[in-house]
Structure 1
Amino acid sequence: MSKEQDATIFEEQARVLAHVTHPGDQYIMRLHAPKTAARAKPGQFVHLRVSPERPLRRPISIMLTDPEHGTIDLLYKAIGEGTQLLTERKAGDLIPMLGPIGVPFDLSDHTKRYVLIGGGVGIPPMIFAADQLQGKADCILFAGSEVEFPFALKPSTTLLPGINGNAILTIRSLEERGIPSRLASNAGLYGCYEGHVPNLARDYLQALRPDERARCVLLSCGPHPMLHAVAKLGRELEIPTFLSLEEHMACGIGGCAGCVVKTLEEGQEKYRRVCVDGPVFAAELLPEFA
């Protein structure tokens, strides 16, 4: 871990302010963690100690921050013993936490149109990116899930090129702030595109004029099969693509090298740690997604 990264990772006793259950074993937790809230950027994550009985922490992507009130929001799914223990934490509990960790998405070029593609628990970094881009750069969010979305939804009033009339639902909190979004699912969810979310994004991108498509950048987080499809989409349409990888982590701060991924940089194979050298990488650097 570099000295710069070390100086921006903090250990906090994060206090649970709210913990809400959603369909499909999904949970949204709000924590009071002012140091992390003040510095976190889209694509970064926190490393939580889920229970006093479990010393190993769990990495969870940051979905939103409120620096003024010192809070962060996390969305996670209870899929293993660790996250199942996390579901038992109640308002008022203190959770040892490291954050914010990792290299975030680069959102600095406001001449670009950011196309955000999230799947399942990979949606939170996309929500965070959309929130940070509001009023600064064009962006659109496509989200995919096989269970009910844990957000308030509404029919969109924004027409999007290439999107058929069946995909009408949008994330209400984004739509109300002028950020367009559309949803995809293979579970027959009402108002959603029937199919995988990269295909929904493809329909949109292919319907754009060439000059509009040339401004686009793809940012994505989600399951590896979805990331493979997004990387392929970026190659086919010659659009710069950046992926946030979700890997099993032990230390979460670069010490154990338990989350390495192979990269190809200037013709040389290297192994980078997802936790601190990522989790965001340019797709072109990842042979797995070539």
Structure 2
Amino acid sequence: MTKPHRNTLFLEEAGILAHEHYEGDQHVLRLAAPKIAAKAGPGSFVHLTCDASRPLRRPISIMRSDGERGEIQLLYKAFGEGTHLLAQRRVGERISTLGPIGNGFTVDRERKRPLLIGGGVGIPPMIFLAEEVRRTGGYEPLVLMGSEVPFPFRVRPSQILVPGIPGGVTGAMPLLEDWDIASRLCSLQGYAGCHEGFVTDLARHWLETMDAAQREQVSVYACGPHPMLEAVAAVAKDFDLPCQVSMEEFMACGVGGCAGCTIQVTTESGPAMKRVCVDGPVFEAETIF
């Protein structure tokens, strides 16, 4: 009998098609990886070799995937030696890339107002999810993004009115605007057009302006640093909303063998240890927090 996970994970020598660099040591990498692109979904990631001198792979979330063109896009921030070496890779070079890995987001078909919340390097999965929702149709998503370094795109004043969002908060991501998807940005750095505060504060304000019937149409999806996810889970609980979170953990193998990325999850039979790489990275928030 064929196992369900067979023919879903691929090792490709992905060619670098473009490598763009932004403030805050942020980078967007576009790779030719047709097998991975054909199977990738919102919330999945790749495990790639940053440089020949660093054999240990690094996990990076997929921001966009085009199965027809056989391309994926990754947005990452250079933290350590590995990703700093990755940032030096040039167009035309090849990168050993394993993926797509992980269980991603599942959009609630009964709730037509998905709230997507991304913080820092947790932004890419939200863009991927927004594109999937747009492709599916019939939804009215709102994407909230927070960053304490300049955003890796030129912020544009939004032309999409969002009831419940303060009038002065107009900063939006151009790509989402072009898709006719509402987005708003948050930061504590005083960037023009951005909400001065945490992304969860803006989410709470938006939800408080709704009546009960409107809130029943909302489901929450989030990716970002652990404190942000914990705060998102608290907001979802306060408003009795379903919430999925994508966890970020250090990992070695990326395919479940080393169990180095385990976290404790609440199950029907009690606490259990789950691997973020293959059991996640997406979990129901109530099972984590």
> Does TM, scored on the shorter chain, surpass 0.5?
yes
Q: Which runs of 5+ in 2 are unaligned?
A: none
Deviates more, 1:230-239 or 1:204-213: 204-213
* Structure 1 CA distance for aligned equivalents of residues 265 and 63 of structure 2: 27
Matched, 1:269 2:274: no
Task: Check whether the contact 1:63–1:74 (CA below 8 A) recurs between aligned residues.
Answer: yes
In the alignment, which residue of structure 2 is the partner of 1:118? 118
Match of 2:283 among 244, 262, 281: 281
Trace 1:192-231 onto structure 2 (pairs within 5 A): 192-231=194-233
Task: Check whether the contact 1:116–1:142 (CA below 8 A) recurs between aligned residues.
Answer: yes
Task: Check whether the contact 2:112–2:138 (CA below 8 A) recurs between aligned residues.
Answer: no
Aligned CA RMSD, in angstroms, stands at 1.3
Q: CA deviation digits over 1:33-83, x for unaligned, max 9?
A: 001111100000000011111111000000001111111000000111111
* Structure 1 CA distance for aligned equivalents of residues 252 and 6 of structure 2: 17
* Structure 2 CA distance for aligned equivalents of residues 184 and 224 of structure 1: 17
Q: CA deviation digits over 1:132-187, x for unaligned, max 9?
A: 10134221100000111112331112221221122111111111221000000001
* Structure 1 CA distance for aligned equivalents of residues 16 and 191 of structure 2: 31
Deviates more, 1:123-132 or 1:155-164: 155-164
* Structure 1 CA distance for aligned equivalents of residues 234 and 5 of structure 2: 31
Trace 1:65-144 onto structure 2 (pairs within 5 A): 65-107=65-107, 109=109, 111-134=111-134, 135-144=137-146
Amino acid at match of 2:84: Q
Q: CA deviation digits over 1:202-247, x for unaligned, max 9?
A: 1111112211111111100000110010000011010011100010
Amino acid at match of 2:166: N
TM-fit CA distance, 1:108: 5.5
TM-fit CA distance, 1:110: 5.8
* Structure 2 CA distance for aligned equivalents of residues 65 and 88 of structure 1: 23
Match of 1:188 among 187, 190, 215: 190
Match of 1:165 among 164, 167, 176: 167
TM-score by length of 2: 0.96
In the alignment, which residue of structure 1 is the partner of 2:147? 145
Number of residue-to-residue matches in the alignment: 286
Q: CA deviation digits over 1:119-139, x for unaligned, max 9?
A: 000000000000110134221
TM-fit CA distance, 1:6: 4.2
Q: Which runs of 5+ in 1 are unaligned?
A: none
TM-score by length of 1: 0.96
* Structure 2 CA distance for aligned equivalents of residues 3 and 217 of structure 1: 32
Task: Check whether the contact 1:19–1:27 (CA below 8 A) recurs between aligned residues.
Answer: yes
| Identical counterparts, % of pairs | 51
* Structure 1 CA distance for aligned equivalents of residues 201 and 208 of structure 2: 10
Amino acid at match of 2:153: F
Matched, 1:255 2:221: no
Task: Check whether the contact 1:110–1:137 (CA below 8 A) recurs between aligned residues.
Answer: no
Amino acid at match of 2:33: A
